[in-house]
C-alpha cells in the first residue's frame, strides 16, 4: 500500500537549481535509501519532504494529504525527521524523547504520552539511560535518542539523514537493524540518505540514485549495476550477489597503485639527490 508519493519536485536555492523533476513513491513497510555523491541534493531532498525547505514546484503526498498544505504540528504527526547531527544539551534522555510528543500534547503530558516514551526507550535499549543528560552520551546513544524522539511522534514516515555517519561498525549495524525492525514491525515507511553503498544494499528495500539534483536510477537491488554506479559516482566497480544481496567492489589494482607510489617516491628522492649535488 502506497504511503508517500513525490510528484515533480523542483527546488532552487537563490535561483540555482538543486532538485529537478523528482518523482518516486514509497510503500508502507518499505525502507528507501537515497544514494549519490556529495552535492547531489540528498539532504535537500529529505528536507523538502517534510517542508523544512519549500520547493518551487511539486507535491509530497502522504495518502491523500499534501504535506505543503499542512500545519507544522500535522506534518510532525506524519513525518518523523532524524537530522544528521543532534546538538547535545542539558536535557535528560527521557525529556529529550518526550519532546517528540509535542505535536500530540494539548494542555499537559498524559500517562499515554509517558507510556509511549517508555516503550520507545525500551525499543532502543535506552531505558537504563533515561535520567542521564544527553550531553553525556556516546555518538551511538545520541543517535538512538534522536530516533526515539522521532518514533514517539507516531509518524507514518521516518526520514533519516545519514543515520550511521560517524558511528563505529557495531553502532552502524545496530542503528540500521533497529530502523529496519521499526519499519517492518510498525508498518511505516523510512527514507534515509546514505554514503556507504554496501550497508545500504544490506538494509534497504529500494534505492534512488541522485546525481546533479535528478534521479539517475530507481528500483530494488536488481537496478544496482556497475554501469549505474560508474555513471553516478565516476568509479568503476564490480557488483556480485552474496546471499541475495549486491556487494560492490571498486575495480582497482592495489599492486599498481603501490608500484606507482613507489616509483613516484623513488623519483622524488632522485630529484632531491640531483638538487643536493
For residue range 227-269, what is the model confidence (pLDDT) as tens digits? Answer: 999 999 999 998 888 887 888 988 876 565 555 555 555 555 5
CA 155 to CA 211: how far, in whole Å? Answer: 29
pLDDT on residue 186: 81
Phi, psi of 30 (to 5 degrees): -120, 140
pLDDT on residue 71: 92
| pTM summary value | 0.86
Domains of the chain by range and CATH? 2-235 (3.40.50.300)
For residue range 77-98, what is the model confidence (pLDDT) as tens digits? Answer: 999 999 887 777 789 999 999 9
pLDDT, the chain, mean? 87
pLDDT on residue 256: 54
Task: Give average pLDDT by consecutive 10-residue segment, the chain, 277 residues.
Answer: 86 90 93 92 93 92 92 92 81 92 87 92 91 89 90 92 86 89 88 91 93 90 88 90 85 61 58 58
pLDDT on residue 1: 62
Amino acid at each position: 500500500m502506497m504511503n508517500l508519493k513525490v510528484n515533480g519536485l523542483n527546488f532552487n536555492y537563490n535561483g540555482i537549481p538543486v532538485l529537478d523533476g523528482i518523482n518516486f513513491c514509497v510503500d508502507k513497510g518499505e525502507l528507501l535509501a537515497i544514494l549519490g555523491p556529495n552535492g547531489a541534493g540528498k539532504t535537500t531532498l529529505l528536507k523538502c519532504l517534510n517542508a523544512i525547505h519549500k520547493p518551487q514546484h511539486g507535491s509530497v503526498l502522504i495518502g491523500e494529504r499534501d504535506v505543503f498544505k499542512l500545519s507544522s504540528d500535522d506534518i510532525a504527526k506524519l513525518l518523523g525527521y532524524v537530522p544528521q547531527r543532534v546538538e547535545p544539551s542539558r536535557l535528560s534522555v527521557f525529556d529529550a524523547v518526550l519532546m517528540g510528543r509535542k505535536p500530540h500534547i494539548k494542555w499537559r503530558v498524559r500517562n499515554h504520552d509517558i507510556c509511549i516514551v517508555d516503550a520507545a526507550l525500551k525499543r532502543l535499549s535506552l531505558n537504563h539511560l533515561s535520567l542521564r543528560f544527553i550531553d553525556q552520551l556516546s555518538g551511538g546513544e545520541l543517535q538512538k535518542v534522536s530516533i526515539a524522539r522521532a518514533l514517539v511522534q507516531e509518524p507514518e514516515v521516518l526520514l533519516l539523514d545519514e543515520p550511521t555517519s560517524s558511528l563505529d561498525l557495531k553502532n552502524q549495524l545496530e542503528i540500521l537493524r533497529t530502523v529496519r525492525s521499526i519499519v517492518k514491525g510498525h508498518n511505516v515507511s523510512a527514507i534515509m540518505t546514505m554514503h556507504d553503498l554496501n550497508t545500504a544494499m544490506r538494509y534497504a528495500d529500494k534505492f534512488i540514485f541522485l546525481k546533479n539534483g535528478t534521479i539517475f536510477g530507481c528500483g530494488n537491488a536488481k537496478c544496482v549495476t556497475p554501469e549505474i554506479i560508474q555513471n553516478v559516482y565516476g568509479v568503476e566497480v564490480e557488483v556480485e550477489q552474496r546471499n541475495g544481496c549486491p556487494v560492490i567492489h571498486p575495480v582497482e589494482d592495489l599492486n599498481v597503485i603501490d608500484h606507482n607510489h613507489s616509483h613516484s617516491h623513488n623519483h622524488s628522492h632522485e630529484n632531491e639527490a640531483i638538487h643536493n649535488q
